[in-house]
Amino acid sequence: MKPQETRPKDICLDCRQLVELDVGDITKLPPPYDDWVDEPIAEVPDEKRERFEASLDGVIGNVIPVPGTEEEKQALVEKFLVGIDKLFSKEDNWTFLQPFLLSIENCVKCNTCADACPIFEASGRVEIYRPLFRADVLRRIANRKRSKLGALTGRLTGADIPVTWETVARLADLAYRCTLCRRCAQDCPMGIDNGLIAREIRKLFSQELGIHPEELHGAGTMKQLHVGSSTGMNPMALADILEFAEEDIEERTGLNIKIPVDKAGADILIMHNAGEFLSWPENLQAFAIMFELAGLSWTIASDLVGYDSVNYGLFYDDIQYSRVTLKHAEVARKLGVKKVVMGECGHAHKAFMATGDRMWLGESNIPRESCLTLMEDLVCNEKIMVDPSRNDFPVTLHDPCNITRSMGIVMPQRKVLKKIAPQFREMTPHGVHNYCCGGGSGFAIMQSNNFPDWRMRIAGRKKFAQIISAFDDCIGPETNKYVCAPCSNCKGQIRDLLTYYEAWDRCRILYGGLVELVVNAMVDVKEGFLEWDFH
Protein backbone atom coordinates (compact mmCIF):
# COMPACT_ATOMS: atom_id res chain seq x y z
CA MET A 1 0.00 0.00 0.00
CA LYS A 2 1.29 3.49 -0.78
CA PRO A 3 2.24 5.23 2.45
CA GLN A 4 0.09 8.21 1.46
CA GLU A 5 -3.08 6.12 1.12
CA THR A 6 -3.35 4.16 4.35
CA ARG A 7 -6.50 4.71 6.44
CA PRO A 8 -6.99 4.03 10.15
CA LYS A 9 -9.15 0.98 9.50
CA ASP A 10 -6.23 -0.60 7.59
CA ILE A 11 -4.28 -1.03 10.79
CA CYS A 12 -5.81 -4.49 11.30
CA LEU A 13 -4.80 -5.77 7.83
CA ASP A 14 -3.24 -9.20 7.83
CA CYS A 15 -0.10 -8.36 5.85
CA ARG A 16 3.65 -8.52 6.39
CA GLN A 17 4.08 -4.74 6.63
CA LEU A 18 1.43 -2.03 6.48
CA VAL A 19 3.60 0.72 4.99
CA GLU A 20 6.79 0.68 2.92
CA LEU A 21 8.77 3.85 3.61
CA ASP A 22 10.62 5.47 0.73
CA VAL A 23 13.41 7.87 1.68
CA GLY A 24 12.74 9.66 -1.62
CA ASP A 25 9.49 10.96 -0.08
CA ILE A 26 11.32 12.73 2.77
CA THR A 27 11.29 16.53 2.48
CA LYS A 28 14.34 18.12 0.85
CA LEU A 29 16.83 20.19 2.81
CA PRO A 30 17.90 23.77 2.07
CA PRO A 31 21.40 24.58 0.73
CA PRO A 32 24.10 23.43 1.12
CA TYR A 33 22.18 20.18 1.61
CA ASP A 34 19.90 20.50 -1.43
CA ASP A 35 21.75 17.58 -3.04
CA TRP A 36 21.69 15.44 0.12
CA VAL A 37 20.66 11.85 -0.52
CA ASP A 38 19.70 9.55 2.34
CA GLU A 39 20.62 5.91 2.40
CA PRO A 40 17.46 3.79 2.81
CA ILE A 41 16.40 2.88 6.33
CA ALA A 42 18.01 -0.50 7.10
CA GLU A 43 15.77 -3.48 6.36
CA VAL A 44 14.78 -5.67 9.28
CA PRO A 45 16.10 -9.15 8.42
CA ASP A 46 13.56 -11.98 8.23
CA GLU A 47 15.07 -13.85 11.18
CA LYS A 48 14.49 -10.75 13.30
CA ARG A 49 10.94 -10.35 12.03
CA GLU A 50 10.22 -13.79 13.35
CA ARG A 51 11.11 -12.54 16.82
CA PHE A 52 10.03 -8.90 16.79
CA GLU A 53 7.11 -7.01 15.33
CA ALA A 54 8.07 -4.86 12.35
CA SER A 55 4.71 -4.96 10.61
CA LEU A 56 3.89 -1.26 10.88
CA ASP A 57 6.55 0.49 8.78
CA GLY A 58 9.51 -1.86 8.94
CA VAL A 59 11.09 0.12 11.78
CA ILE A 60 11.71 -1.42 15.19
CA GLY A 61 11.30 1.21 17.89
CA ASN A 62 9.19 -0.18 20.68
CA VAL A 63 10.65 -3.69 20.66
CA ILE A 64 7.61 -5.99 20.70
CA PRO A 65 8.25 -9.74 20.85
CA VAL A 66 6.11 -11.75 18.45
CA PRO A 67 3.79 -13.94 20.56
CA GLY A 68 4.48 -17.65 20.08
CA THR A 69 0.91 -18.91 19.81
CA GLU A 70 -2.58 -17.75 18.87
CA GLU A 71 -3.55 -18.10 22.55
CA GLU A 72 -0.79 -15.72 23.58
CA LYS A 73 -1.91 -13.24 20.96
CA GLN A 74 -5.48 -13.47 22.17
CA ALA A 75 -4.41 -13.03 25.80
CA LEU A 76 -2.56 -9.82 24.87
CA VAL A 77 -5.56 -8.54 22.92
CA GLU A 78 -7.74 -9.16 26.00
CA LYS A 79 -5.30 -7.26 28.19
CA PHE A 80 -5.34 -4.42 25.72
CA LEU A 81 -9.13 -4.22 25.89
CA VAL A 82 -9.05 -4.19 29.69
CA GLY A 83 -6.49 -1.40 29.39
CA ILE A 84 -8.84 0.63 27.22
CA ASP A 85 -11.50 0.46 29.95
CA LYS A 86 -8.94 1.60 32.50
CA LEU A 87 -7.89 4.60 30.43
CA PHE A 88 -11.48 5.82 30.63
CA SER A 89 -12.05 5.24 34.34
CA LYS A 90 -11.25 7.73 37.06
CA GLU A 91 -10.23 4.99 39.51
CA ASP A 92 -7.52 3.76 37.13
CA ASN A 93 -6.53 6.95 35.35
CA TRP A 94 -6.55 9.71 37.93
CA THR A 95 -3.55 11.38 36.36
CA PHE A 96 -4.71 12.47 32.91
CA LEU A 97 -8.36 11.45 32.63
CA GLN A 98 -9.81 14.90 32.05
CA PRO A 99 -7.54 16.13 29.24
CA PHE A 100 -7.61 12.64 27.76
CA LEU A 101 -11.43 12.52 27.64
CA LEU A 102 -11.63 16.05 26.27
CA SER A 103 -9.18 15.09 23.53
CA ILE A 104 -10.98 11.85 22.64
CA GLU A 105 -14.45 13.36 22.61
CA ASN A 106 -14.07 16.82 21.09
CA CYS A 107 -11.88 16.47 18.00
CA VAL A 108 -13.62 17.94 14.95
CA LYS A 109 -11.18 16.34 12.50
CA CYS A 110 -10.09 19.66 11.00
CA ASN A 111 -6.54 18.27 10.64
CA THR A 112 -4.83 21.48 11.73
CA CYS A 113 -2.61 19.11 13.74
CA ALA A 114 -1.33 17.47 10.55
CA ASP A 115 0.35 20.66 9.38
CA ALA A 116 1.82 21.21 12.83
CA CYS A 117 3.49 17.80 13.05
CA PRO A 118 7.17 17.73 12.01
CA ILE A 119 7.19 13.95 11.58
CA PHE A 120 4.14 13.86 9.33
CA GLU A 121 5.49 16.69 7.21
CA ALA A 122 9.09 15.48 6.99
CA SER A 123 8.04 11.94 6.10
CA GLY A 124 6.34 13.21 2.95
CA ARG A 125 2.90 12.95 4.55
CA VAL A 126 2.97 9.28 5.41
CA GLU A 127 -0.61 8.75 6.62
CA ILE A 128 0.19 6.57 9.65
CA TYR A 129 2.21 9.48 11.09
CA ARG A 130 -0.70 11.93 10.81
CA PRO A 131 -1.53 12.86 14.43
CA LEU A 132 -5.17 12.11 13.81
CA PHE A 133 -4.45 8.62 12.46
CA ARG A 134 -3.15 7.28 15.76
CA ALA A 135 -5.77 9.07 17.81
CA ASP A 136 -8.52 7.88 15.52
CA VAL A 137 -7.52 4.23 15.81
CA LEU A 138 -7.82 4.51 19.57
CA ARG A 139 -10.97 6.59 19.34
CA ARG A 140 -12.71 4.08 17.08
CA ILE A 141 -11.72 1.09 19.20
CA ALA A 142 -12.88 2.88 22.33
CA ASN A 143 -16.13 4.02 20.73
CA ARG A 144 -16.92 0.47 19.74
CA LYS A 145 -16.31 -0.77 23.25
CA ARG A 146 -18.07 2.08 24.98
CA SER A 147 -21.07 2.34 22.71
CA LYS A 148 -24.16 0.76 24.25
CA LEU A 149 -25.09 -0.75 20.91
CA GLY A 150 -21.56 -2.00 20.32
CA ALA A 151 -20.36 -3.21 16.97
CA LEU A 152 -23.81 -3.16 15.40
CA THR A 153 -23.75 0.58 15.03
CA GLY A 154 -20.01 0.73 14.84
CA ARG A 155 -19.83 1.37 11.16
CA LEU A 156 -22.20 4.31 11.45
CA THR A 157 -20.45 5.92 14.37
CA GLY A 158 -16.87 5.49 13.19
CA ALA A 159 -16.19 2.53 15.42
CA ASP A 160 -15.25 -0.06 12.91
CA ILE A 161 -11.74 -1.27 13.67
CA PRO A 162 -11.50 -4.93 14.62
CA VAL A 163 -9.12 -5.44 17.55
CA THR A 164 -6.78 -8.17 16.35
CA TRP A 165 -3.16 -8.80 17.33
CA GLU A 166 -2.12 -6.88 14.18
CA THR A 167 -4.10 -3.86 15.37
CA VAL A 168 -2.66 -4.06 18.87
CA ALA A 169 0.97 -4.61 17.83
CA ARG A 170 0.91 -1.82 15.27
CA LEU A 171 -0.72 0.63 17.64
CA ALA A 172 1.94 -0.18 20.28
CA ASP A 173 4.62 0.75 17.76
CA LEU A 174 2.74 3.73 16.38
CA ALA A 175 2.77 5.32 19.85
CA TYR A 176 6.55 5.55 19.27
CA ARG A 177 6.37 7.49 16.02
CA CYS A 178 5.40 10.65 17.92
CA THR A 179 7.91 12.56 20.06
CA LEU A 180 5.16 13.90 22.35
CA CYS A 181 6.34 17.39 21.36
CA ARG A 182 2.71 18.61 21.49
CA ARG A 183 3.14 21.12 18.70
CA CYS A 184 -0.19 19.75 17.42
CA ALA A 185 -1.85 20.65 20.73
CA GLN A 186 -0.37 24.16 20.53
CA ASP A 187 -2.05 24.70 17.16
CA CYS A 188 -5.35 22.85 17.69
CA PRO A 189 -8.32 25.25 17.76
CA MET A 190 -10.14 22.81 20.07
CA GLY A 191 -7.23 22.24 22.43
CA ILE A 192 -7.03 18.54 21.52
CA ASP A 193 -3.78 17.00 22.71
CA ASN A 194 -2.80 14.20 20.32
CA GLY A 195 0.57 14.03 22.07
CA LEU A 196 -1.21 13.09 25.26
CA ILE A 197 -3.21 10.44 23.41
CA ALA A 198 0.04 8.91 22.10
CA ARG A 199 1.45 9.01 25.60
CA GLU A 200 -1.64 7.37 27.10
CA ILE A 201 -1.42 4.58 24.51
CA ARG A 202 2.17 4.02 25.65
CA LYS A 203 0.94 3.92 29.24
CA LEU A 204 -1.72 1.34 28.45
CA PHE A 205 0.87 -0.91 26.81
CA SER A 206 3.39 -0.52 29.61
CA GLN A 207 1.07 -0.87 32.57
CA GLU A 208 -1.26 -3.55 31.19
CA LEU A 209 0.81 -5.55 28.69
CA GLY A 210 4.35 -5.00 29.92
CA ILE A 211 5.31 -3.66 26.47
CA HIS A 212 7.75 -0.74 26.51
CA PRO A 213 11.13 0.12 24.98
CA GLU A 214 13.94 -1.46 26.98
CA GLU A 215 15.83 1.85 26.97
CA LEU A 216 12.98 3.54 28.85
CA HIS A 217 12.04 0.73 31.19
CA GLY A 218 14.58 -2.01 31.96
CA ALA A 219 17.63 0.12 31.23
CA GLY A 220 15.71 3.28 32.17
CA THR A 221 13.46 3.70 35.19
CA MET A 222 14.16 0.24 36.64
CA LYS A 223 17.91 0.73 36.45
CA GLN A 224 17.57 4.23 37.90
CA LEU A 225 15.60 2.96 40.89
CA HIS A 226 18.02 0.09 41.56
CA VAL A 227 21.43 1.54 40.69
CA GLY A 228 20.74 5.26 41.08
CA SER A 229 20.83 6.34 37.44
CA SER A 230 19.66 5.05 34.10
CA THR A 231 23.24 5.45 32.93
CA GLY A 232 24.33 2.88 35.50
CA MET A 233 26.24 5.54 37.45
CA ASN A 234 26.31 4.43 41.09
CA PRO A 235 27.32 6.73 43.98
CA MET A 236 30.94 5.51 43.81
CA ALA A 237 31.16 6.40 40.12
CA LEU A 238 29.62 9.77 40.91
CA ALA A 239 32.40 10.50 43.43
CA ASP A 240 35.04 9.60 40.83
CA ILE A 241 33.39 11.82 38.23
CA LEU A 242 33.14 14.81 40.57
CA GLU A 243 36.78 14.48 41.56
CA PHE A 244 37.70 14.50 37.87
CA ALA A 245 35.40 17.48 37.27
CA GLU A 246 37.16 19.53 39.94
CA GLU A 247 40.58 18.76 38.46
CA ASP A 248 39.27 19.56 35.00
CA ILE A 249 37.85 22.91 36.13
CA GLU A 250 41.23 23.84 37.59
CA GLU A 251 42.99 22.89 34.39
CA ARG A 252 40.54 24.77 32.17
CA THR A 253 40.14 27.91 34.26
CA GLY A 254 42.75 27.97 37.00
CA LEU A 255 39.91 28.13 39.51
CA ASN A 256 40.03 25.89 42.55
CA ILE A 257 36.42 24.88 43.02
CA LYS A 258 34.99 22.27 45.34
CA ILE A 259 31.65 20.86 44.24
CA PRO A 260 29.47 20.69 47.36
CA VAL A 261 27.84 17.30 47.92
CA ASP A 262 24.94 16.65 50.33
CA LYS A 263 25.20 20.07 51.99
CA ALA A 264 22.17 20.01 54.30
CA GLY A 265 20.08 23.18 54.34
CA ALA A 266 21.65 24.65 51.18
CA ASP A 267 19.59 27.27 49.34
CA ILE A 268 19.76 25.30 46.11
CA LEU A 269 19.85 21.61 45.32
CA ILE A 270 20.74 21.33 41.66
CA MET A 271 19.66 18.18 39.91
CA HIS A 272 21.33 17.40 36.59
CA ASN A 273 20.49 14.84 33.98
CA ALA A 274 23.18 12.16 34.47
CA GLY A 275 24.11 12.62 30.81
CA GLU A 276 25.88 15.82 31.88
CA PHE A 277 28.20 13.83 34.14
CA LEU A 278 29.11 11.32 31.45
CA SER A 279 28.82 12.98 28.05
CA TRP A 280 28.82 16.73 28.64
CA PRO A 281 30.91 17.32 31.78
CA GLU A 282 31.55 20.92 30.70
CA ASN A 283 27.89 21.59 31.50
CA LEU A 284 28.02 20.52 35.12
CA GLN A 285 31.42 22.19 35.46
CA ALA A 286 29.99 25.45 34.12
CA PHE A 287 27.16 25.35 36.66
CA ALA A 288 29.68 24.81 39.45
CA ILE A 289 31.81 27.75 38.28
CA MET A 290 28.82 30.07 37.85
CA PHE A 291 27.29 29.20 41.23
CA GLU A 292 30.56 29.51 43.12
CA LEU A 293 31.56 32.82 41.53
CA ALA A 294 28.05 34.17 42.17
CA GLY A 295 28.48 33.18 45.83
CA LEU A 296 25.41 30.95 45.95
CA SER A 297 24.68 28.38 48.64
CA TRP A 298 24.19 25.17 46.68
CA THR A 299 24.72 21.45 46.61
CA ILE A 300 24.25 18.32 44.61
CA ALA A 301 22.90 15.12 46.18
CA SER A 302 24.72 11.79 46.24
CA ASP A 303 21.75 9.73 47.42
CA LEU A 304 20.52 7.03 45.07
CA VAL A 305 18.43 8.62 42.27
CA GLY A 306 19.10 12.09 43.71
CA TYR A 307 21.96 12.78 41.33
CA ASP A 308 20.06 11.89 38.17
CA SER A 309 17.08 14.11 37.40
CA VAL A 310 15.74 11.98 34.57
CA ASN A 311 12.32 10.44 34.92
CA TYR A 312 11.52 8.45 31.81
CA GLY A 313 8.24 7.40 33.44
CA LEU A 314 6.94 10.72 32.17
CA PHE A 315 7.12 9.28 28.65
CA TYR A 316 5.40 5.93 29.13
CA ASP A 317 4.18 4.85 32.57
CA ASP A 318 2.46 6.63 35.50
CA ILE A 319 3.57 4.07 38.06
CA GLN A 320 7.24 4.31 37.12
CA TYR A 321 6.93 8.08 36.92
CA SER A 322 5.55 8.20 40.44
CA ARG A 323 8.21 5.91 41.89
CA VAL A 324 10.99 8.08 40.51
CA THR A 325 9.51 11.46 41.36
CA LEU A 326 8.73 10.39 44.95
CA LYS A 327 12.35 9.35 45.30
CA HIS A 328 13.51 12.73 43.98
CA ALA A 329 11.20 14.51 46.42
CA GLU A 330 12.45 12.41 49.33
CA VAL A 331 16.09 13.23 48.55
CA ALA A 332 15.29 16.97 48.48
CA ARG A 333 13.26 16.79 51.69
CA LYS A 334 15.95 14.84 53.56
CA LEU A 335 18.58 17.43 52.65
CA GLY A 336 16.32 20.24 53.86
CA VAL A 337 17.19 22.48 50.92
CA LYS A 338 15.24 25.67 50.23
CA LYS A 339 14.60 24.87 46.59
CA VAL A 340 15.42 22.40 43.85
CA VAL A 341 16.83 23.80 40.62
CA MET A 342 16.46 21.80 37.45
CA GLY A 343 19.59 21.67 35.33
CA GLU A 344 19.45 21.80 31.54
CA CYS A 345 17.10 18.87 31.04
CA GLY A 346 13.73 19.43 29.39
CA HIS A 347 11.72 16.48 30.53
CA ALA A 348 13.01 16.86 34.09
CA HIS A 349 11.53 20.37 34.09
CA LYS A 350 8.15 18.90 33.32
CA ALA A 351 8.56 15.89 35.61
CA PHE A 352 9.58 18.01 38.61
CA MET A 353 7.31 20.98 38.03
CA ALA A 354 4.24 20.69 35.78
CA THR A 355 3.54 17.02 36.45
CA GLY A 356 5.39 16.98 39.75
CA ASP A 357 2.97 19.47 41.26
CA ARG A 358 0.55 16.60 41.73
CA MET A 359 3.07 14.42 43.55
CA TRP A 360 5.27 16.77 45.59
CA LEU A 361 2.75 17.29 48.36
CA GLY A 362 2.81 18.10 52.08
CA GLU A 363 6.34 18.05 53.50
CA SER A 364 7.70 17.36 50.04
CA ASN A 365 6.20 20.48 48.51
CA ILE A 366 9.61 22.08 48.09
CA PRO A 367 9.86 24.97 45.60
CA ARG A 368 11.29 24.01 42.25
CA GLU A 369 12.85 26.39 39.74
CA SER A 370 14.25 26.23 36.25
CA CYS A 371 17.97 26.91 35.83
CA LEU A 372 16.96 29.28 33.02
CA THR A 373 15.17 31.76 35.27
CA LEU A 374 18.02 31.47 37.76
CA MET A 375 20.53 32.28 35.01
CA GLU A 376 18.38 35.20 33.91
CA ASP A 377 18.62 36.60 37.44
CA LEU A 378 22.39 36.09 37.65
CA VAL A 379 23.19 37.52 34.21
CA CYS A 380 20.57 40.23 33.75
CA ASN A 381 20.82 41.55 37.31
CA GLU A 382 24.60 41.55 36.95
CA LYS A 383 25.31 39.18 39.82
CA ILE A 384 27.99 37.81 37.54
CA MET A 385 29.90 39.99 35.08
CA VAL A 386 30.08 39.02 31.45
CA ASP A 387 32.00 40.16 28.39
CA PRO A 388 29.84 39.30 25.36
CA SER A 389 32.73 39.83 22.93
CA ARG A 390 34.05 36.46 24.06
CA ASN A 391 31.02 34.86 22.42
CA ASP A 392 31.31 36.76 19.16
CA PHE A 393 30.24 33.95 16.86
CA PRO A 394 26.84 32.99 15.40
CA VAL A 395 24.60 31.35 17.99
CA THR A 396 21.10 30.02 17.52
CA LEU A 397 18.73 28.65 20.15
CA HIS A 398 16.85 25.39 20.17
CA ASP A 399 13.72 25.48 22.34
CA PRO A 400 13.28 22.19 24.22
CA CYS A 401 9.56 21.34 23.91
CA ASN A 402 9.15 20.43 27.56
CA ILE A 403 10.66 23.70 28.78
CA THR A 404 9.24 26.11 26.25
CA ARG A 405 5.92 24.78 24.96
CA SER A 406 4.96 22.74 28.01
CA MET A 407 6.18 25.09 30.73
CA GLY A 408 5.92 28.46 29.00
CA ILE A 409 9.54 29.35 29.80
CA VAL A 410 10.31 31.38 26.69
CA MET A 411 12.01 34.69 27.48
CA PRO A 412 14.59 34.00 30.25
CA GLN A 413 16.96 32.07 27.96
CA ARG A 414 16.58 34.77 25.29
CA LYS A 415 17.31 37.60 27.73
CA VAL A 416 20.47 35.75 28.77
CA LEU A 417 21.54 35.19 25.16
CA LYS A 418 20.97 38.84 24.29
CA LYS A 419 23.42 39.77 27.07
CA ILE A 420 26.10 37.24 26.21
CA ALA A 421 25.90 36.40 22.50
CA PRO A 422 26.14 39.39 20.12
CA GLN A 423 25.45 37.24 17.05
CA PHE A 424 22.40 35.47 18.48
CA ARG A 425 19.77 34.72 15.87
CA GLU A 426 16.42 32.95 16.22
CA MET A 427 15.38 29.85 14.35
CA THR A 428 12.17 30.01 12.32
CA PRO A 429 9.73 29.27 13.89
CA HIS A 430 10.76 29.43 17.55
CA GLY A 431 9.48 29.78 21.11
CA VAL A 432 6.28 27.83 21.70
CA HIS A 433 6.09 27.21 17.93
CA ASN A 434 9.52 25.54 17.84
CA TYR A 435 10.08 22.20 16.20
CA CYS A 436 11.10 19.24 18.34
CA CYS A 437 14.71 18.08 17.94
CA GLY A 438 13.28 14.74 16.88
CA GLY A 439 14.69 12.97 19.92
CA GLY A 440 11.90 13.84 22.33
CA SER A 441 10.05 11.42 24.62
CA GLY A 442 13.02 9.08 24.85
CA PHE A 443 13.77 8.77 21.13
CA ALA A 444 17.27 10.21 21.57
CA ILE A 445 18.24 7.24 23.72
CA MET A 446 16.51 4.59 21.60
CA GLN A 447 19.65 3.49 19.81
CA SER A 448 18.76 -0.07 18.84
CA ASN A 449 17.90 -1.82 15.58
CA ASN A 450 17.03 0.56 12.73
CA PHE A 451 15.24 3.13 14.89
CA PRO A 452 18.15 5.62 14.72
CA ASP A 453 17.92 5.51 10.90
CA TRP A 454 14.29 6.62 11.12
CA ARG A 455 15.07 9.18 13.83
CA MET A 456 17.84 10.86 11.80
CA ARG A 457 16.02 10.91 8.46
CA ILE A 458 12.45 11.68 9.54
CA ALA A 459 12.01 12.69 13.21
CA GLY A 460 14.94 15.12 13.19
CA ARG A 461 14.62 16.39 9.62
CA LYS A 462 12.75 19.62 10.38
CA LYS A 463 15.13 20.53 13.19
CA PHE A 464 18.20 20.00 11.06
CA ALA A 465 16.67 22.12 8.29
CA GLN A 466 15.97 24.85 10.86
CA ILE A 467 19.54 24.75 12.16
CA ILE A 468 21.17 25.21 8.77
CA SER A 469 18.64 27.86 7.79
CA ALA A 470 19.44 29.86 10.91
CA PHE A 471 23.07 30.01 9.72
CA ASP A 472 22.41 30.55 6.00
CA ASP A 473 24.48 33.77 5.99
CA CYS A 474 27.59 32.02 7.32
CA ILE A 475 27.09 28.32 6.60
CA GLY A 476 30.63 27.61 5.39
CA PRO A 477 33.19 25.79 7.52
CA GLU A 478 35.30 28.94 7.91
CA THR A 479 32.86 30.24 10.58
CA ASN A 480 32.44 28.48 13.91
CA LYS A 481 28.74 28.32 14.83
CA TYR A 482 26.91 27.17 17.97
CA VAL A 483 23.49 25.61 18.49
CA CYS A 484 22.48 26.35 22.06
CA ALA A 485 20.25 23.51 23.30
CA PRO A 486 19.58 23.70 27.03
CA CYS A 487 18.46 20.07 27.37
CA SER A 488 20.49 16.85 27.60
CA ASN A 489 18.09 14.82 25.50
CA CYS A 490 18.03 17.47 22.76
CA LYS A 491 21.83 17.69 22.90
CA GLY A 492 22.11 13.94 22.32
CA GLN A 493 19.77 14.16 19.36
CA ILE A 494 21.45 17.27 17.90
CA ARG A 495 24.85 15.60 18.28
CA ASP A 496 23.54 12.61 16.35
CA LEU A 497 21.97 14.87 13.70
CA LEU A 498 25.13 16.93 13.20
CA THR A 499 27.07 13.67 12.91
CA TYR A 500 24.62 12.03 10.49
CA TYR A 501 24.51 15.13 8.26
CA GLU A 502 28.29 15.66 8.67
CA ALA A 503 27.60 19.23 9.75
CA TRP A 504 30.71 19.67 11.87
CA ASP A 505 33.01 18.89 8.96
CA ARG A 506 30.90 20.55 6.29
CA CYS A 507 29.65 23.61 8.18
CA ARG A 508 31.52 23.80 11.53
CA ILE A 509 28.36 23.67 13.60
CA LEU A 510 28.93 22.82 17.27
CA TYR A 511 26.23 22.34 19.88
CA GLY A 512 26.04 22.67 23.65
CA GLY A 513 24.06 24.13 26.51
CA LEU A 514 23.41 27.68 27.65
CA VAL A 515 25.48 27.72 30.83
CA GLU A 516 28.66 26.94 28.88
CA LEU A 517 28.12 30.15 26.90
CA VAL A 518 27.52 32.10 30.09
CA VAL A 519 30.74 30.85 31.67
CA ASN A 520 32.63 31.39 28.42
CA ALA A 521 31.67 35.07 28.71
CA MET A 522 32.36 35.49 32.44
CA VAL A 523 35.10 38.06 33.03
CA ASP A 524 36.27 36.25 36.17
CA VAL A 525 36.98 33.07 34.22
CA LYS A 526 40.04 32.63 32.03
CA GLU A 527 39.20 33.01 28.34
CA GLY A 528 38.51 29.93 26.27
CA PHE A 529 36.22 27.81 28.44
CA LEU A 530 34.36 26.72 25.33
CA GLU A 531 36.37 24.25 23.30
CA TRP A 532 35.69 24.11 19.56
CA ASP A 533 35.97 20.37 19.40
CA PHE A 534 33.06 18.23 18.30
CA HIS A 535 32.04 15.56 20.78
Residues at the site binding another protein, with contacts judged by CB under 8 A: 48, 63, 215, 219-220, 223-224, 227, 229-234, 236-237, 240-241, 244, 248, 273-275, 277-279, 281, 308, 310, 345, 444-445, 447-449, 488-489, 492, 533, 535
Residue 28 burial (10 A CB sphere; 0-12, 13-18, 19+): exposed
Nearer to another protein (CB atom), residue 449 or residue 469:
449
Identity of the residue, 99 or 232, whose beta carbon is nearer to another protein in the bound complex: 232
- Least distance (Å) from another protein to the CB of residue 215? 7
Closer of 154 and 275 to another protein (Cβ): 275
**What φ, ψ does residue 138 adopt, rounded to 5°?**
-65, -45
- The least CB distance from residue 227 to another protein, in Å, is 7
Question: Is 136 or 344 the residue whose CB approaches another protein more closely?
Answer: 344
What's the number of CA atoms in the CB half-sphere (13 Å) around residue 311? 29
Shortest reach from residue 317's CB to another protein, in Å: 17
- 367: nearest Cα among 259, 295, 299, 269: 269
Contact status, residue 340 vs residue 366, Cβ threshold 8 Å: yes
Contact of 255 with 525, CB cutoff 8 Å = yes
Minimum distance between the CB of residue 385 and another protein, rounded to whole angstroms? 28
The overall longest dimension of the chain from CA atoms, in Å, is 77
Cβ closest to another protein, residue 487 vs residue 507: 487
Identity of the amino acid at 27: T
Residue 497 to residue 491: CA distance in whole angstroms? 10
The minimum distance between CB 223 and another protein, in angstroms, equals: 6
The number of beta carbons lying within 10 Å of the beta carbon of residue 476 is: 11
- Are 173 and 61 in contact, with CB atoms under 8 Å apart? yes
Nearer to another protein, 237 or 498 (CB): 237
Min dist CB 154 to another protein, Å, is 39
Q: What does the alpha-carbon distance between residue 360 and residue 42 come to, in Å, rounded to a whole number?
A: 44
Tell me how far, at minimum, the Cβ of 353 lies from another protein, in Å. 18
Considering the complex, state which of residue 365 and residue 448 has its C-beta at the smaller distance from another protein.
448
The helix/strand count (H/E) of the chain reads as 24, 8
Q: What's the Cα-to-Cα distance from 312 to each of 203, 207, 277, 316, rounded to whole Å?
A: 12, 14, 18, 7
Kindly state the smallest distance separating residue 323's Cβ from another protein, in Å. Answer: 17
**CA 486, 271, 311: angle at the middle one, nearest 5?**
80
- Nearest residue (CB) to another protein, 158 versus 281: 281
Q: Is residue 346 within 8 Å of 490, Cβ to Cβ? A: yes
Rounded-to-integer distance, Cα 185 and Cα 463, Å: 19
Nearer to another protein, 35 or 46 (CB): 46
CB of 10 to another protein, least distance (A): 28
Q: Hey, what amino acid is at 232?
A: G
